[in-house]
Structure 1
């Protein structure tokens, strides 16, 4: 490239040569414009206020994204920059399913907020590896980074279920399915309780529900014979003691037919706790067998 070529000026829409190179994926030209030409890596287009990193992310040019945010440079692109729609480069990459770029940006970000977690982890992305990183980054943003690293599954069930508006059955099931079985049985909260005890005593009905408990028992049958160190009760005893079978809290919101079905669903959970390994349950609980 000739030395007298203007690499800084923009079009009437404030589109610079760097914007164009990032859009089309020409890494060598991007490197020249930034390293030699002194191009502004934070230049915003007039329409949309998009930076070069926005455009590279949106079009899936991973190598250019890595170059623009390289900490070895004297200048790094702002990964938190927002365009006119309040989208960050991460949002742009996610909306166009550029998961290679999503992974690069997410690992570089120190934390993310609930909006980004919802968009990134459960509305769009199907890659559990990316979702796992997103859960950790959100914990850091909430000041729970250390606690999450020590006991992620408990933070998800005890904190996320209350504070994240989008948590539902599928969220719970996906988390349980992807965490190792060893983590389910070995992870204890500050009171020495297993995950099933935390779920059973949770006031959040998105977590403390038949489907979640059945999933936990299927993933780790030994939960069925685990006594809660705080209450001294086994899981099926906790269900009965809390009056779930009587569904006392649901009499005002359910008719007789649906109330009966709801009670049967909780009876299914009790049955599941025995069906997982009835011989072991009987031996442990009653000394029979």
Structure 2
């Protein structure tokens, strides 16, 4: 598998999954079930997962695949694999808030190197090109025909006036306490992996996450942010956030533009 082969496939599958998700999102009603970890799952999660998984396995049969909705895949271990969250931000989806995304990424030697984040209700899509740089695509999002793309780049941050983005559904006192260590010009809230993309485009400087996430929640956004010049580090010691951990659970982390002077936890 080459990057030139990978990028068109993950872009196409993200759009096709987004179309399927929006069919259900725009329907009069949809069922919500509860998984064993008490998190919600809908028909949209399951339909998107089936579509993406089938497409990736057909295109790259020899590549290890980890996906949120297939618990058997969570037992596989390796440092190079494809990882999928077919619908990140299920709570946003259920409440029809629009801040949900399709996420597909390639992790190599513990590092997310290529990925796509598609927010179909927001009509925004971000992905890495074969050369590793990140772009935002605009247009009709045709799965077969690439639209117009523009390069994205992190902001040149002013540490006296930072723009901070935080979770819409998981905001807590610990997050606020950490944000208060900085000189903040303004705050914005967003759901799902869109927060990584807002840092990647320069719409925000800093995204701290003091709460539970899984690798499938973060890998695609991490790849997009890296391709735009940003960084993702552990909250505790500011070492790089690595992937392929047992159980695929993340520690707390900080995503940021490199001009931000990070504060200690």
Return the TM-score normalized by structure 1: 0.22
Structure ranking higher in helix proportion = 1
Q: Which has the higher strand share?
A: 2
Q: Greater Rg, structure 1 or structure 2? A: 1
- With normalisation by structure 2, the TM-score equals 0.24
Q: Which has the higher contact order (CA 8 A, sep 6+)?
A: 2
